[in-house]
């Protein structure tokens, strides 16, 4: 995990951050709306977030932040201050 450069990491954090603090899961359409993108772009973002471990797929087929994603965002928010 996280074998990516800083620019890519910041982009992944940018897309993950709006989901931080929420204990709910999201459909692909909901994520596209949150990210203000079309469905194809949302699929690409989602695929990258899943590959790097930021988001996981639930049994019901929805998506939510993984524990690792929550930890990384919390660290990012502290460093960003």
Answer whether 42's CB lies under 8 Å from 32's CB. yes
The pLDDT mean for the chain works out to 89
Closest-CA residue to 14 (of 48, 43, 57): 48
Q: Tell whether the model's pLDDT for residue 62 goes beyond 70.
A: yes
Instruction: Choose between 37 and 6: higher pLDDT.
Output: 37
The whole-number average pLDDT for the span 18-39 is 92
The whole-number average pLDDT for the span 35-63 is 94
Q: Tell whether the model's pLDDT for residue 50 goes beyond 70.
A: yes
Which option is the CATH number for 6-80: 1.10.620.20, 1.10.260.40, 1.10.3720.10, 1.10.10.10? 1.10.10.10
Q: Tell whether the model's pLDDT for residue 3 goes beyond 80.
A: no
Domain locations in the chain as residue ranges? 6-80
Q: Tell whether the model's pLDDT for residue 1 goes beyond 60.
A: no
């Amino acid at each position: 995990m996280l074998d990516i450069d800083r620019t890519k990491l910041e982009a992944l954090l940018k897309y993950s951050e709006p989901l931080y603090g929420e204990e709910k899961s999201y459909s692909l359409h909901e994520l596209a709306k949150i990210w203000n993108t079309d469905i194809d772009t949302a699929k690409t973002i989602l695929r990258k977030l899943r590959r790097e471990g930021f988001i996981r797929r639930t049994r019901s087929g929805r998506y939510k932040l993984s524990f690792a994603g929550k930890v990384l965002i919390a660290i990012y928010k502290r460093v960003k201050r």
